[in-house]
Amino acid sequence: MANIEYRNEGNVRLYTWIESQPYWFLDKSKPRYLPTIGRIHAFIRHVEIVPSSLILPPDLFLQSTIGEPFVIRDHPLYCRSLQIRKQNPSKYPRIAYHGTSIGVILSILMDGLVMPSTVVSSGKRVCPPTNHIPRKVKHHNIEDFSNGIFVSPSIYYCSDPAYAVTFSDGDQRVVAVLECSVKDGKFDIIPSTVSTYKPHPTDDPKSLEWRFTNPADIEILSVLFIPQIRSRIAEAKCRAAKLGVNPNDL
């Protein structure tokens, strides 16, 4: 079968309508491969959220204005916000956060936050990170403690390097944090499991982790891109000045 492409559009993907199922199919390994003749096909322009790091189909988020997916926010921290859905406060009244890596955001938006050992739509199995408490270990009187989904009411806690992985976005160093709404009374309240974390003044040290065992109790509202270093060049020049080096020589 033929490989076809939409000229002058690098982020366009070819989808095929599956008549027996209510969805469009994309061959991720061959995004321009025509899988069949006599079917309905469509070119869908994906949106580059973070250059070279995150490209999303447009139906995964709500655009505030045409061509501009971000909203600049000052709450709970200064950040760029990519809205996924609006909160349903009657069903999901509480707000929590989940620090993550830019590389898994597409998978999470496709499948939601899932329990460990789940095989997601990409074909990969979700496992706890190697620096986290391993499976089958009892902790806080909970058997197999890591067999759950963890969020935090503290944006500072989930932005800790134990959870949120920094990445480069232009001249900035940024972390990605999922803003979620959750059902009340459906989680265990856990104190910090990160020994190096120093609580923020607004934190409740006894309630830094909320552990869920049902993915349906969590909805993702937004992806927050929170700068840790707003300008790497400015930071480097500042350090150079403190060391007595002329910043203009950098």
pLDDT tens-digit profile of 163-200? 999 999 888 899 999 999 999 999 999 999 999 999 99
Domain that residue 33 falls in: 12-45
| One domain, residues 30 and 141 | no
Output the pLDDT for position 249.
60
Output the pLDDT for position 65.
65
| One domain, residues 20 and 138 | no
| One domain, residues 75 and 94 | yes
| One domain, residues 91 and 24 | no
Whether 123 is in a domain gets the answer yes
| One domain, residues 121 and 72 | yes
| One domain, residues 33 and 64 | no
pLDDT-based confidence at residue 233 (cuts at 50, 70, 90): low
HSE, CB side, 13 Å, CA atoms: give it for residue 166: 13
Q: Which of 125-129, 157-161, 184-188, 197-201 has the lowest mean pLDDT?
A: 125-129
Can you read off the two tokens belonging to residue 32?
A: 């321009």
Q: How many domains does the chain have?
A: 2
Nearest to 71 by CA among 84, 56, 58: 84
Task: Check which CATH number belongs to the domain holding 126 and give it.
Answer: 3.90.228
pLDDT-based confidence at residue 208 (cuts at 50, 70, 90): very high
pLDDT-based confidence at residue 212 (cuts at 50, 70, 90): very high
Whether 213 is in a domain gets the answer yes
Whether 5 is in a domain gets the answer no
| One domain, residues 101 and 60 | yes
| One domain, residues 19 and 100 | no
Q: Report, as an integer, the average pLDDT of 127-136.
A: 89
Rounded Cα gap, residues 95 and 173, in angstroms:
25
Q: Report, as an integer, the average pLDDT of 97-115.
A: 96
H helix or E strand, kind and range, residue 45: strand 41-45
pTM: predicted TM-score of the whole model, two decimal places: 0.86
| One domain, residues 82 and 36 | no
| One domain, residues 35 and 76 | no
